[in-house]
Amino acid sequence: MTTVSDWLTEARPALRESVHVGPGLLKGTSVVHIVGDRETHAFLRVGPREAFLMAQLDGTRTLADIGVAYAEQFGKRLGEAHWTQLLGLLHSHALIEPAAPEQLEAVREKTELARRAAGRSPLLWRRPVPGAADLVVPLARRIGWLLHPLAAVPLALAGTAVAVFVLLRWSMLWTAVSESPSRSTAAVVGLLVGWVVIAGHEFFHGIACVRYGGRPTEIGVMWRFPMIAPYCKVDDVVTFPRPGQRVVTSFAGVYVNLVALIPFAALWWWGPQSGWWHGLAAALLLFGVVAALANLIPVLKLDGYHMLEHATSTSNLQGESFRFAGAFLRHGPSGIAAYSRRARRIYAGYALLATAILGPALVLLIRSWYLTLADLWSPLTAIAVLVGEAVVVGGLLRWAVVWRRRATEEA
Every domain of the chain and the residues it spans: 6-112, 120-311
pLDDT of residue 119: 59
pLDDT of residue 181: 84
pLDDT of residue 2: 44
User: How many Å separate Cα 325 from the centre of its chain?
Assistant: 22
For residue 179, give every residue at least 6 positions away whose Cβ sits within 8 Å of its Cβ, in sequence order, or none. Answer: 279
How many whole angstroms separate alpha carbon 221 and alpha carbon 337?
43
pLDDT of residue 266: 96
What is this structure's pTM? Answer: 0.86
CA angle, 67 as apex, 66 and 72 as ends, to 5°?
100
Q: Are 229 and 219 in contact (CB under 8 A)?
A: no
* Partners of 27 in the β-ladder: 30
pLDDT of residue 123: 64
H/E element holding 47?
none
How many whole angstroms separate alpha carbon 323 and alpha carbon 313?
18
Dihedral of the alpha carbons of 320, 325, 327, 333, in degrees to the nearest 10: 120
Give the number of C-alpha atoms closer than 13 A to the C-alpha of residue 216, restricted to the C-beta side.
30
CATH (residue range 6-112)? 3.90.930
pLDDT of residue 333: 93
Provide the 10 A C-beta neighbour count for residue 134: 11
pLDDT tens string, the chain, 411 residues long: the values are 445 567 888 889 999 999 999 999 999 999 999 999 999 889 999 999 999 999 999 989 999 999 899 999 988 888 888 888 999 989 988 999 988 889 999 988 888 887 777 656 666 778 888 888 899 999 999 999 999 999 999 999 999 999 999 999 999 999 998 888 877 787 788 888 988 999 999 999 999 999 999 999 889 988 876 678 889 999 999 999 999 999 999 999 999 999 999 999 999 999 998 888 999 999 999 999 999 999 999 998 899 999 999 999 999 999 999 999 999 999 999 999 999 999 999 999 999 999 999 888 888 888 888 888 888 888 888 888 888 988 888 887 777 667 666 654 554
Q: Are 50 and 342 in contact (CB under 8 A)?
A: no
Kindly list the strands in the beta sheet with 120-121, ordered across the sheet, starting from the edge strand earlier in the chain.
120-121, 124-128, 218-224, 227-233
pLDDT of residue 235: 92
- DSSP state, residue 25: E
For residue 66, give every residue at least 6 positions away whose Cβ sits within 8 Å of its Cβ, in sequence order, or none. Answer: 53, 56, 57
* Partners of 96 in the β-ladder: 15
Give the number of C-alpha atoms closer than 13 A to the C-alpha of residue 210, restricted to the C-beta side.
23
3-state class of 140 per DSSP?
helix
Q: Are 228 and 199 in contact (CB under 8 A)?
A: no
pLDDT of residue 120: 64
Q: Are 18 and 38 in contact (CB under 8 A)?
A: yes
Backbone angles phi, psi at 31, to 5 degrees: -120, 135
